[in-house]
Structure 1
Amino acid sequence: MESTKPLPPIAGRGAPTNLRPTRTGSAERVADGDWLDAADDIDGAPPPLRTTVSVEHPKTIIARNSSPDIGFDRSINPYRGCEHGCIYCFARPTHAFHDLSPGLDFESKLFAKPDAAKLLRAELAKRNYKVAPIAIGTNTDGYQPIEREWGITRQIVEVLAETRHPLLITTKSDRLLRDIDLLAQMAADNLVGVAISVTTLDPKVARTLEPRAPHPRRRLAAIRALVDAGVPTQVNISPIIPAITDHEIEAIMAVAAKAGAIRASYILMRLPFEVAPLFRAWLAAHYPDRADKVMHMVQDIRGGRDNDPNFFTRMKGQGVWPQLIRQRMKRAAREHGMDKSFPPLRSDLFQPPERDGQMELFRT
């Protein structure tokens, strides 16, 4: 019989379970309540969960999308999976396509793409390449902890800086300050924009929501450092979670404005596919007193379901609560002078890299 007992949280991890991908036909892993009660007595405590990194060799590195509610049509993901462990991450289901769990596997069994910069250079060198901003960090964070050793995102930014190609970065890590030399160089030509995600200012909440992401204070300090270097930077209050973080909107806007952010954006929490049961398990472990209230509000926003996959409404939600959030964001933006437009990035400065070792003379 399936246990209804809440799963205990795992220190340093977001998901409390390793939910199996049900869409691929694999059997779901179900924890038996009687076994859970006796597991420690029989087996002892489980070994610590370690992060592993496997090498992936894709044939191309630029991912394309035609979504009408996203402001870019191409992106690069240097890594698959993300050690930040954000329980709300809408990218978790991508691990299911590899018969891995969107739960603990997503944040502990990672994939790196060391050929990314080489592949990017080859794609930018194609005669029919059309320039438009490339986004990094829209699926999994390019500046997650393993970037420290692998440096793949840095290599990608080096190629984009060299070719004077426009770039958009979204991250919740101050690790991107290591690349501030390149970002400042690109910003001087209006080639880069950065969004720093701040979900909460409460370190206790952050430790459970996004356990391996940098402290909120470090992200705010990154905004200040980027702005001081001339890099246009906005704060991204994402996601806003009803009855968990929504009360912090004005406070986040105020400290982000003080740090120099030129504007603010937000996204209401989305729970696609396997993210919904993982989030429910997280609620049961950390907020049992309000779990039902949170999910009732989520379903009210999403037309009675855990998730709304439809374009436009998936980002904005439906009903009174999303309308109130929009009003609060607009009012706070006006109050703090964060209602400016993000500077449009230039595409006319692009200089294609050499193709197959040939000089520019032989391109025509």
Structure 2
Amino acid sequence: MKDKTIIKGRGAQVNVQNKFLEHSEEVRDDFLEYCRLEGEEADPNKTTYIEVTSKSIVNKVNSPDVGMSYSMNPYQGCEHGCIYCYARNSHEYWGYSAGLDFERKILIKKDAPELLEKKLQSKSWKAQTIVLSGNTDCYQPAEQRYEITRRCLEVFLKYKHPVGIITKNALILRDLDILKKLAKDNLVSVSISITSLSETTRRTLEPRTATIKRRFKTVRELTDNGIPVNVMMAPVIPGVNSHEILLLAKVAAENGALSLGFIVVRLNGAIGQIFTDWIRKTMPDKADKVLHQIEACHGGALNDSEFGIRMKGKGKIAEQLHSMMRIAKQKYFSDKEFPKTNHTLYEAQKQLLKQPKNGQMRLF
């Protein structure tokens, strides 16, 4: 039976201790009783947007098994609230908790487009695909207000520079006009994260994300407009969504996806505590089974930090998941090919933009 004290609309149900901070906060029973007597909310459960400035925005990705070389994140923290999100741990570097703070205290990097342009103007920079959302979703709800991602895409278009996008939000369709222009020169690719076909599972795992129906519609619409789409089933959680691999692959292919990827869930850092608390409250009848199966994929722990293995898992359960994914790809994606982004236009475009607008150049 579900815990009746679950915080609605959130993934994490607790604020765990930040390992970098000496002091911690505790909600005491006497405080809760005081709030009850005064008719006040002990926890208003509101999202706060905090504007910050950054020295740089493009990050070198040193992990050899992530699948990207450079990333940028217009936002830190993510209101989507996905319970399994590996990015939660990075919120601790800013002095916040990886739990509820990650979903409710969103840092806004308003100068991201200017910092990106400065990077692309650099003499030493050579075109390499920069991935939006290597850490947190660039189309999370804050983007509706701030439009930082859209402004960054305008910079990529201006410099004819390749960009990758990872998201689970249908808001990406708002920027279809820019994406189509990028796609004409093969400068953009999109990965849509879809973890389940079940709305019940989606609402539990990812409480503030676009519905499954809207995500597949997004895959279809992007594909119809010439934008290559990869579907990421990330993560696969044994006992929660692992049984959906084949059917999800079928629906993804039917909606135009050109490729399918997945990772095995890993609960690194504070996420192990956050996820364990969450599943015992939301799925108490299967909590032990799921946790034990995750441990079986990581040598008896909830996480494995070894490069090359940490996101693939090992052991019999992980092998079964990989076998199922191989079958899915062979059955539904064997005739599809995902194109590489174009890195050849940027250098000439950068030099063109640097030329002074005098003489005949004023005509252009």
Give the TM-score normalised by structure 1: 0.92
Superposed counterparts of 1:264-283, under 5 Å: 264-283=260-279
How many angstroms apart in 1 are the aligned matches of 2:288 and 2:27? 22
User: What's the counterpart of residue 263 of structure 1?
Assistant: 259
Aligned counterparts of 2:161 and 2:307: Cα–Cα separation in 1: 28
Q: How does 1:194-233 map to 2 (within 5 A)?
A: 194-233=190-229
Q: Quote how far apart the aligned CAs of 1:352 are.
A: 5.0
What residue in structure 1 maps to residue 300 of structure 2?
304
Task: Supply the AA of the counterpart residue of 2:17.
Answer: R
Secondary structure in structure 1 of the residue aligned to 2:310: helix
What residue number does 1:78 align with? Answer: 74
SS at match of 1:236: strand
CA positional deviation for 1:253: 0.9
Residue pairs, 1:116-135, within 5 angstroms: 116-135=112-131
1:28 Cα deviation (Å)?
Answer: 4.1
Change (3 A) 1:232 1:25: same
Q: Which residue of 1 aligns with 2:20?
A: 24
Distance change >3 Å, CA 42–CA 316, structure 1 → 2: same
Aligned to 2:155: 159
Aligned-residue RMSD, C-alpha: 2.3
What is the CA distance between 1:40 and its match in structure 2?
6.8
SS at 1:58 equivalent = coil
With over 3 angstroms needed to count, the CA separation of the structure-2 counterparts of 1:270 and 1:39, relative to structure 1, is farther
Aligned partners of 1:239 and 1:269 also within 8 Å? yes
Structure 1 128/323 Cα, relative in aligned 2: closer, same or farther at 3 Å?
Answer: same
Given that 2:21 and 2:95 are in contact with CA atoms closer than 8 Å, whether structure 1 keeps it comes out as: no
CA separation of 1:149/1:25 partners in 2, compared to 1, >3 Å: closer, same or farther? closer
Match of residue 144 from structure 1 = 140
Aligned counterparts of 1:300 and 1:35: Cα–Cα separation in 2: 41
Structure 1 residues 189, 293: closer, same or farther in 2, change over 3 A? Answer: same
Give the gaps of 5 or more residues in structure 2. 359-364
Does the CA-based 8 Å contact 1:122-1:355 persist in structure 2?
no
Per-residue deviation, residues 121-155 of structure 1 (Å, max 9, x unmatched) = 11111111111100011200000011011000001
Change in CA separation of 1:355 and 1:336 when aligned onto 2, cut-off 3 Å: closer
Shift of 1:329: 1.0
- 1:7 and 1:17 in contact (8 A); partners too: no
CA distance in 2, matches of 1:360, 1:307: 56
Give the partner amino acid of 1:123.
K
Alpha-carbon spacing, 1:91–1:38, altered in 2? closer, same or farther (3 Å):
same
SS in 1 for 2:59: strand
SS at match of 2:86: coil
Change (3 A) 1:354 1:101: farther
Amino acid at match of 2:260: A
Task: Decide whether the 8 Å contact of 2:250 with 2:332 is kept in 1.
Answer: yes
Work out the CA distance in 2 between the residues paired with 1:98 and 1:7.
32
List aligned pairs for 1:1-364, cutoff 5 A: 8-21=5-18, 23-30=19-26, 41-42=36-37, 44=39, 45-337=41-333, 340-350=336-346, 351-353=348-350, 359=356
What percentage of aligned pairs have identical amino acids? 38
Q: CA deviation at 1:269?
A: 1.0
Q: Judging changes above 3 Å, is the alpha-carbon distance between structure 1 residues 208 and 127 closer, same or farther for their aligned structure 2 residues? A: same
**Structure 2: distance between partners of 1:339 and 1:150:** 40
Q: Does the Cα contact within 8 Å between 1:7 and 1:281 map onto a contact in 2?
A: no
1:257-301 deviations in Å (ceiling 9; x for gaps): 111111100011121111110000110111111111111111111
Mark the CA change 1:250 to 1:323 in structure 2 (over 3 Å): closer, same or farther.
same
CA distance in 1, matches of 2:213, 2:127: 35
Question: How far 1:83 moved relative to its partner?
Answer: 0.4
Q: 1:31 to 1:243 in 2, by over 3 A?
A: farther
Q: What CA distance in whole angstroms lies between the structure 2 residues aligned with 1:90 and 1:285?
A: 20
SS in 1 for 2:65: coil
Q: Secondary structure at the match of 1:91?
A: helix
**8 Å Cα contact 1:263-1:339 kept in structure 2:** no
